[in-house]
Structure 1
Amino acid sequence: MAVIGLGLMGRALAAAFLKAGHPTTVWNRTAGKADQLVAEGARLAPSVGEALKAGSVTIVCVTDYQAMYELLSESEGGLDGVMLINLTSGDSGQAREAARWAERRGAHYLDGAIMAIPSAIGTAEAVILHSGPESFFEEHESTLGALGTVTYLGADPGLASLYDVAGLAMMWSVLNAWLQGTALLRTAGVDAVTYAPFARQIAATVAEWLPEYAEQVDAGAFPAEVSALETDARAMAHLIEESEAVGVNAELPKLMKAMADRAIAAGHGGEQYPVLIGEFSRPGRDD
């Protein structure tokens, strides 16, 4: 096992492999970042090329894809036959291009995304996503399990990156909604700690709707079994009015309502909220 790139995340990855009993070689341009890992039993490779030769799997976790290209191009031995698992953050297009780049150089390639903070690596809470040829994942799944809960998404190398940003969209949307509600309640003297349990309950309830709503999206049919979009739009107007009345920023609810209004104008007012997938699936507007 080799880990190239020893930032906070890279060091956490290498430490998890060591803890699981995997012989681990590490490399970083600033060699001093490996000191603690070496003290724990890691071997410090003198070059990228030596790191690539050190194990059956090489994990790359660096600043960006360009940094990966530059580092791996420094290897005199090349990449022929190397099992390369790239956990560097990027977008789906970069992931697909990296897969082609690696294939042209004879490497086996999986792209990945880490849905965790460094301190969670090595625990079940750390979700590590992988995409690329399934046979590569299956061959190394047990080893990768040292990092956390590993998940295979499919043969398209870009899927891990897409799931990564989709997860971020969920995270920021939930947090922004909670902050909007917190700002509203603070105007009445209710603190965030008091509101948080109620907000958590609402978030959990909405999460329960997702499987049924997903079926509507996939079927392209949105019968109003719970509420029609035009009813939701009236509630959005109430949220905007309340926010403005108490002096709270109303940009977020106004954005929500603008999308709903466009769908209603297109004739979807009597359908259920997931009909807005049509708005989300279009390029952004420059209003």
Structure 2
Amino acid sequence: MNAEHQAVTVIGLGSMGSALAAALLDRGHPTTVWNRSPGRARPLADRGAHLATTPREALTASPLVLACVRDYEALHSVLEPASDNLAGKVLVNLTSGSPEQAQEMAGWARSHGADYLDGAIMTTPPGVGSPEMMFLYSGPPAVFEAHRPALAALGDPLHLSDDPGMASVYDAALLGLMWSTMTGWLHGTALVGAEKTPATAFTPIAIRWLTAVAGFLATYAPQVDAGRYPGDDATIDVQIAAIEHLLHAAASRGVDNALPELLKSLMERARAAGHGADSFAGVIEALRKPTDIR
């Protein structure tokens, strides 16, 4: 069977695991599924998935094994009793956890003769299968390339590093970006909402603004890498003055100011460290550990 229709096993059939298995079935991959509660597997079995009755049977069924369970403790409890069936397999772990757990899991898989990729799913279950959604992977590049066609059934597969912990690092970083962005949008929505502006009217303008913000990120990234922040657009000093307007407008309308107060404190720390005349990218110096070396 060619790589385009490689047999795949999915272990763990919560909302995300079920979406993974469904996407594989939709793209013609012979798919074996296993879940601690067999009832979750029946809708997939009705669509053509093979229902394994044990983890051992699930591991034996396919050369490529995707695991998406609650946490690493659950993952070990499933795989450890059947670990002698891992030899020669590729284990792709899509279970959320820390970079250190991913690195430990990679060593554990290697000790049982399996190749290992760690992954991060950058979407919710309804987005699985869309080529627009990113799936991040880290681990041996050759293993990733060999199984790219099957992984592409889930979303756009991006390989980050041979360090198995890197997908988890990116996952955490991107979630932080998401939460910060959405909270900023909600704060703005509450602010304009105090003037009876509906979120549906504010949001198209906010989205257009994010296009400009993306341009700022592209401008600042080389500055961050170089550790030099020319303040030729808007300095941190100027930004501190500007955020006072946001704080005043929100406070006057009864909107919680915890987020902008945090942003202001970071800017002030950067200014106190001598970066007041730098671009906003200089705020990273208030976020980095003092021992970080560029």
TM-score (norm 1): 0.95
Q: Does 1:216 align with 2:223?
A: yes
Residue of structure 1 in register with 2:165 after alignment: 158
Residue 280 of structure 1: how far off its partner (Å): 1.7
Whole-angstrom distance in 2 between the partners of 1:206 and 1:89 = 29
Residue 126 of structure 1: how far off its partner (Å): 2.5
Whole-angstrom distance in 1 between the partners of 2:196 and 2:224 = 40
Is there any run of 5+ residues in structure 1 with no aligned partner, and where?
A: none
Q: 1:18-97, aligned counterparts within 5 Å?
A: 18-75=25-82, 77-97=84-104
Whole-angstrom distance in 1 between the partners of 2:196 and 2:51 = 56
CA RMSD of aligned residues (A): 1.3
Residue of structure 1 in register with 2:3 after alignment: none
Q: Does 1:129 align with 2:149?
A: no
Whole-angstrom distance in 2 between the partners of 1:25 and 1:248 = 51
Whole-angstrom distance in 2 between the partners of 1:71 and 1:46 = 13
Residue of structure 2 in register with 1:229 after alignment: 236
Q: How many residues align?
A: 283
Q: Does 1:120 align with 2:116?
A: no
Show structure 1 runs of 4+ deviating over 6 A. Answer: none
Contact 1:87 1:111 in 2 (8 A): yes
Whole-angstrom distance in 2 between the partners of 1:281 and 1:266 = 12
Whole-angstrom distance in 2 between the partners of 1:183 and 1:17 = 41
1:98 maps to which of 96, 99, 105:
105
TM-score (norm 2): 0.93
Q: Does 1:204 align with 2:211?
A: yes
Q: Matched residue of 2:158: which SS?
A: strand
Q: 1:165-204, aligned counterparts within 5 Å?
A: 165-204=172-211
Contact 1:116 1:125 in 2 (8 A): no
Q: Does 1:146 align with 2:166?
A: no
Q: Does 1:263 align with 2:255?
A: no
Whole-angstrom distance in 1 between the partners of 2:287 and 2:142 = 34
Whole-angstrom distance in 1 between the partners of 2:62 and 2:255 = 56
Q: Matched residue of 1:77: which SS?
A: helix
